[in-house]
Structure 1
Amino acid sequence: MRGFFRMGFNMARKQPLRSWAVPLALSAATGLSYSVYAETQQQNQQHSSSSVVNLNPIKHSSAEPLIKLKTRQDHLADIQKTEEYDIIVIGGGCNGAGVFLEAANRGLKCLLVEGGDFAAATSSKSTKLIHGGIRYLQEVFEFSLKGGRIEKYNLVKEALRERTHFIENAYYMNRQIPFVVPTTNLIMGIYYYIGVLVYHGIYRYYLDSDKSSFRMKMPQWYGGRQLREYFPHLDHKYKYGIVYYDGQFNDTRMNLDILLTGTQHNYNENFQEGNILNYAEVTQLIKDQKTGENKGIVFKDKINGKDISVKGKCIVNCTGAFADNIRKMDDPSCQKRILAVAGSHMTMPASFCSRKHALVIPETQDGRILFLVPWQNHAVVGTTERALDEPELDPTVSAQELIFMSEEVGKIYSNLPSSEITNNINSKWAGLRPLILQNQKEGEPIDTKKIARTHVIEVSKNGLVSLMGGKWTVYRCMGEETVDKILEIFKQKGIKYNENAAKKSSLNLRLLGEANQNANYKFPPKNQYVKIYASALADKHQIEYKEAKYLIKNYGQRAFDILNLAENHTKKDYLKQRVHPNHPILKAEILYHLKYEMAQQPIDVLFRRTRFGFIDRKGMFESLKTVCDIFADELKWDEAKKQKVIEQQKEIMRKMDF
């Protein structure tokens, strides 16, 4: 606590009034907020009659984590001794995670298996947006659109409703962000402004106002001066900027928090903790010899090489772009339903975008929308669309796509030479969108931008439930609808389940990174959560505020567990150092990923538990040895084993071509 005020008064002694007054006020205010928070937490613990425990991460100092998480070995042991699961989910991306958490919240015993690492495919390669889809709304009003207007409108409506809960249920990690649509003349400005007003109006009309206190801000209108202030490279031909608000998130960290929440014991009333396992590839569906009905799965544990059989009352296929593979495993005669579309992105230095505003290029040369979004102290540019004949686990970004994105950036930043744009591409990646084919004839050309990003729940004759399509923003409601369908099947078959638990809603189910699982929890306010906890974390563990803020925004309250792990370790000072000087990622995180987040190899850390591979390819290779050093120390590798792993990981990273 003394650190907050000490910082302020030291600044006051050394600097003139004008330079220290604001930081001093902020420091004192944050310190006061922290004091009030600690007192409020104490009162909550004394007076709360709720079955939910009010957690105080600031006071916890033990090496034993406040949020207890099972290891991979713990999950494997549970799987082998569980006679039968209610639900077995295949696929550990956003669709699978949504079904898994929904099942746990509604009292169903669930197992989720993933052939690679969690969110290793499409779910880690999004544009990092929580959005309703303003392009889809624009298409609703296009005269050239032949049918599908209601479907696209419903897609926007559903996503805008879910956007609120998505942000609020993990507000330590997610945020709303202003998007600026630049325009050259007043008429187009009015056109775009009316469009974003309609977009905001749909959100307000369908808002669950009685279930959420979070509100998105109203659209705004910027003049040329404000445009230049936020985007100094923007061509001066743009006179106005239309501002609307959508959400932003860190996709893989969100995916992990959803999964880890579903593994918690007694998280809320009637909550049924589940099991998760990565690097567990499904090789066979176990069928009833007489009826052909699915009764379980066989998976290969890629870590120990063993084949393991598991029984389940319902098997759910959530494998995204690879859904047809599992469908054909169930029924070889089934028709193709998935069109895999690659969406490419590139990452540039933060100077190419505003730090607090995203920029929208409303119409590119191929008639799409392109975003420039601030993310992880960098600028993300995307996305393109390229249909693939067959899905790929790690699709590459073509030279043509890089040229396309660079040219589009060059059009709005016309004062920058093209070489300055192309020479500042730090990283690139492509993810697959699984679009649902409906009534398309074989060989018929397909315009991918005309296919709605809707989702479909299919039940095969053998009882396989396949959740296909959709997008990140609606992961929760897709999980809800899928579990509704499963319960309907259970009812038809006379399978018993806890009917009271099955009625529960996940609309306000907070993820485990929040300081309290209770939806009625009011302090600290959402807009001060990161500031208060980051200040407390920095003061308690004597790390930079920037590092503390990064930890809180990525782990929520679990950031305290990460640094408590370091404080109680024999290499305390080493673990509190950065992995790379240019990034706020600490070595303690790598140890935490190994112990509690089921990381099995360095690329799991470099691409998913941190985002090195997506923001700084050069920094990723420079950090590989440090990450392997921590793996070697924890897993007791000798020098020969460590060097072998380093070379193997380098080869994997080169092949991935990020």
Structure 2
Amino acid sequence: MNRKENRERLRQEQFDICIIGAGASGAGAALDAALRGYRVALIDRGDFAGETSSRSTKLIHGGVRYLEQAIKKLDLAQLRQVHHGLAERRTVIRNAPHLAHPLAILTPVFSWFEGLYMTIGLTLYDFIAGHDAFPKGSWLKKEKALDKSPMLTRKMHSAVLYYDGQFNDARYALALAHSADEAGAAVVNYTSVIDFGRENGQLKTAIVQDQLTGETLTLRASVFLNCTGPFADSIRLLANPKLDQRIRPSKGVHIVLPRETLQSDYAVLIPKTPDGRVVFAIPFGDKVFVGTTDNDYSDLSREPVLETDEVDYLLETVRPYLDKTPVRADVQAGFGGIRPLIVSSRADTKTLLRDHEVEHDSESGLLSLLGGKWTTYRLMAQDAIDRASELLTKTVPGSTETHYLIGGENYRFDDWQVLQNKYGLPADVCQHLMKTYGTRADRVAQLIKTQPILSKKITASQPFIQAEVVYQVREEMAVTLRDVLARRWRLELSNWQLTAQLAPQIAELMAIELNWSDEHRTQRIQAYQNLLVSFVKQAGLQKDQSEMSTV
């Protein structure tokens, strides 16, 4: 992806569809539309998946909680959601097998009746999933459950095992955007809509501003599609100030603990909390993510971050399910996101449906894709582009169900050995490259042919190498330190202290590629490290500030 060339396309071309927002739904819609042959622009005021779409629980699922509610309340709408989610779970993994895979999840239970109840529910979950490639669940005796996950509480009666999907959300969204780019879309990050131009009330142009340079340009399109998730109302009201607000934002946070917290590849589902939520403890890389919370969130101008009371809540929630209770000192990082729940008459965010809706404002012509969840991003995108097709009076069927994303086609994890033989890189580096870039891993490794220094690890404790930073700038449109450390790698999510320590080294590599001055490089490092220190303070975690900085 070439940002300079794509930005020039925004200035010069007339597009069929301009998609605003490059998270899961926006990037998915851009790929869908480009594959149908439409002229597509995809823009975002920040990075790809810079907000909600990079801050999920990393699960692809039908929703076990939705299933329970559907049965208890005889709610067919929730049952349909489960069915759609389970069907799409299969597709998400098929289309990017390097970024998504099945995940075993254990649910500890404390009585025979509770075990029977959970087993019946999860058997129904498997039944709805049909004959897919996922293993079927089972009810395990205590001893067998402890064999699989030795840190579970000895007080449990038994455990119920089932399977869902796990994925790298930020890189999956990036793969969607990158795939859309290769299908012909003009994809540009850090480009914000500041106004619309109209004819007879209908949107004809968008005035957009480059957030890196401050430059503005006029983007022309026949249809504008709003895919900005929790920020959808700001675009809707910019297009038509008379509209009612439709989004009720809900904040969810996760804490990050050492992998030793579980000592297992099996995740843990905590099926009931004092306030009626579901919480997961999930292995992800060399860490365990625990979350999520679910609370109203009103200040969309402020990044949702982990706060002291949220750390306490999640530690307290996981306590009864583990033999050794984690404490505040074990928390190494955390992250928060905002769910885009659609306003309804229901009482609170825990019961609002995470479904989606394609809204057409006839007065301005704006299309808005509202609500939804990661697992069903493809269906959401398909519905939105179907509606855009009607407005364009040029109907073309979608083809995303069987379209491999960047790095997905002909992917075999075992090819890491081919990579190792070809380039002489360590095994952990080659495995990481395969899981991160799929069949594009060879393109990353090729950079060390002309610059052998790029084969050097960024740090001994991680499999990252210098060539990746160069590749991410040249091919994946990374332009800030957070683009690399928080999204193309997931280090910011998992270890704030290490992220701060590595920032100068990453900045040095980026500065060469992006022609940063020494002053700009130093400012970027300092600003990022200060941000990480603020995260530690807001979470109430005790870290030596000198350890968070090397500048």
TM range (shorter): over 0.9
Equivalent position SS for 2:249: strand
Contact 1:394 1:656 in 2 (8 A): no
Matched with 1:483 is 385
The answer to whether structure 1 residue 79 and structure 2 residue 5 are counterparts is: no
The answer to whether structure 1 residue 642 and structure 2 residue 524 are counterparts is: no
Distance 2:36 2:354 in 1: 27
Matches within 5 A, 1:16-165: 70-82=1-13, 84-142=14-72, 145=73, 149-165=75-91
Offset from partner CA, 1:403-423 (integer Å, 9 cap, x none): 01111222212x425xx4221
What amino acid does structure 2 have at the position aligned with 1:118?
A: F
The CA deviation at 1:547 is 1.4
The CA deviation at 1:612 is 0.9
Distance 1:408 1:424 in 2: 15
RMSD: 1.6
Matched with 1:345 is 254
Matched with 2:460 is 581
Distance 1:588 1:476 in 2: 32
The answer to whether structure 1 residue 547 and structure 2 residue 434 are counterparts is: no
The total of aligned residue pairs comes to 536
Equivalent position SS for 1:347: strand
Q: 1:596 aligns with which of 468, 472, 475?
A: 475
The CA deviation at 1:396 is 1.6
Equivalent position SS for 1:595: helix
Contact 1:410 1:421 in 2 (8 A): no
Q: Which runs of 5+ in 2 are unaligned?
A: 540-551
Distance 1:195 1:392 in 2: 40
The CA deviation at 1:629 is 1.2
Matches within 5 A, 1:260-339: 260-265=178-183, 273-288=184-199, 291-339=200-248
The answer to whether structure 1 residue 628 and structure 2 residue 507 are counterparts is: yes
Equivalent position SS for 2:98: coil
Contact 1:350 1:374 in 2 (8 A): yes
Matched with 1:270 is none
> Taking structure 1 as reference, are residues 628 and 248 closer, same or farther at Cα in structure 2, changes over 3 Å only?
same
Equivalent position SS for 1:263: helix
The answer to whether structure 1 residue 166 and structure 2 residue 100 are counterparts is: no
What amino acid does structure 2 have at the position aligned with 1:599?
A: A
Distance 2:281 2:336 in 1: 16
Contact 1:151 1:452 in 2 (8 A): no
Matched with 2:548 is none
The CA deviation at 1:392 is 4.3
Q: 1:468 aligns with which of 346, 354, 370?
A: 370
Offset from partner CA, 1:120-140 (integer Å, 9 cap, x none): 110110000000001010011
Contact 2:233 2:245 in 1 (8 A): yes
Distance 2:365 2:24 in 1: 22
Offset from partner CA, 1:42-86 (integer Å, 9 cap, x none): xxxxxxxxxxxxxxxxxxxxxxxxxxxx3111211222221x101
- TM-score under structure 2 length normalisation: 0.94
Distance 2:144 2:284 in 1: 21
Contact 2:150 2:264 in 1 (8 A): no
Distance 2:70 2:520 in 1: 58
Matched with 1:42 is none
Distance 1:93 1:654 in 2: 27
Equivalent position SS for 1:557: helix
Matched with 2:282 is 373
Offset from partner CA, 1:207-266 (integer Å, 9 cap, x none): 6xxxxxx5111112222112222322222121311111100000110000011001115x
The CA deviation at 1:643 is 2.0
Matched with 1:248 is 166
Offset from partner CA, 1:326-376 (integer Å, 9 cap, x none): 110011111111010000101111111243211111101111111010112
Offset from partner CA, 1:469-490 (integer Å, 9 cap, x none): 0000011111111111111222
Equivalent position SS for 1:585: coil
Distance 1:163 1:530 in 2: 20
> Taking structure 1 as reference, are residues 393 and 215 closer, same or farther at Cα in structure 2, changes over 3 Å only?
farther
Contact 1:230 1:354 in 2 (8 A): no
Contact 1:575 1:587 in 2 (8 A): yes
The answer to whether structure 1 residue 558 and structure 2 residue 440 are counterparts is: yes
Distance 1:340 1:530 in 2: 38
Distance 1:150 1:515 in 2: 36
Q: 2:418 aligns with which of 536, 544, 548?
A: 536
> Taking structure 1 as reference, are residues 376 and 507 closer, same or farther at Cα in structure 2, changes over 3 Å only?
same
The CA deviation at 1:638 is 4.4
Matched with 1:236 is 154
Matched with 1:269 is none
Distance 1:359 1:253 in 2: 24
What amino acid does structure 2 have at the position aligned with 1:253?
A: R
> Taking structure 1 as reference, are residues 342 and 504 closer, same or farther at Cα in structure 2, changes over 3 Å only?
closer
The CA deviation at 1:596 is 1.1
Q: Which moved more, 1:244-253 or 1:224-233?
A: 224-233
What amino acid does structure 1 have at the position aligned with 2:380?
A: M
Equivalent position SS for 1:108: coil
Q: 1:188 aligns with which of 111, 114, 126?
A: 114
Contact 1:87 1:315 in 2 (8 A): yes
Distance 2:61 2:31 in 1: 21
What amino acid does structure 1 have at the position aligned with 2:407?
A: G
Contact 1:340 1:435 in 2 (8 A): yes
Distance 2:344 2:514 in 1: 49
Offset from partner CA, 1:118-165 (integer Å, 9 cap, x none): 1111011000000000101001122xx4x7x12111111111111110
Equivalent position SS for 2:350: helix
What amino acid does structure 2 have at the position aligned with 1:566?
A: I
Q: Which moved more, 1:227-236 or 1:188-197?
A: 227-236
Contact 2:16 2:392 in 1 (8 A): no
The CA deviation at 1:576 is 1.2
Equivalent position SS for 2:260: helix
The CA deviation at 1:274 is 0.5
Matched with 1:508 is 402
Equivalent position SS for 2:288: strand
Contact 1:102 1:506 in 2 (8 A): yes
Distance 1:154 1:602 in 2: 41
What amino acid does structure 1 have at the position aligned with 2:437?
A: Y
- TM-score under structure 1 length normalisation: 0.79
What amino acid does structure 2 have at the position aligned with 1:453?
A: R
Distance 2:5 2:243 in 1: 37
Offset from partner CA, 1:569-616 (integer Å, 9 cap, x none): 2xx1x3112212211111111111111111111111111111111011
Q: 1:425 aligns with which of 327, 331, 351?
A: 331
Q: Which moved more, 1:391-400 or 1:188-197?
A: 391-400
The CA deviation at 1:512 is 1.6
Equivalent position SS for 1:556: helix
The CA deviation at 1:306 is 0.9
Matched with 1:55 is none
The CA deviation at 1:504 is 4.0
Distance 2:15 2:388 in 1: 13
Distance 1:514 1:595 in 2: 20
> Taking structure 1 as reference, are residues 134 and 217 closer, same or farther at Cα in structure 2, changes over 3 Å only?
same
The answer to whether structure 1 residue 416 and structure 2 residue 324 are counterparts is: yes
- Identity level (%): 29
Matched with 1:47 is none
What amino acid does structure 2 have at the position aligned with 1:568?
A: T
What amino acid does structure 1 have at the position aligned with 2:271?
A: P
Distance 1:557 1:344 in 2: 33
Distance 2:302 2:3 in 1: 23
Q: Which runs of 5+ in 1 are unaligned?
A: 1-69, 208-213, 266-272, 441-445, 492-496, 517-523
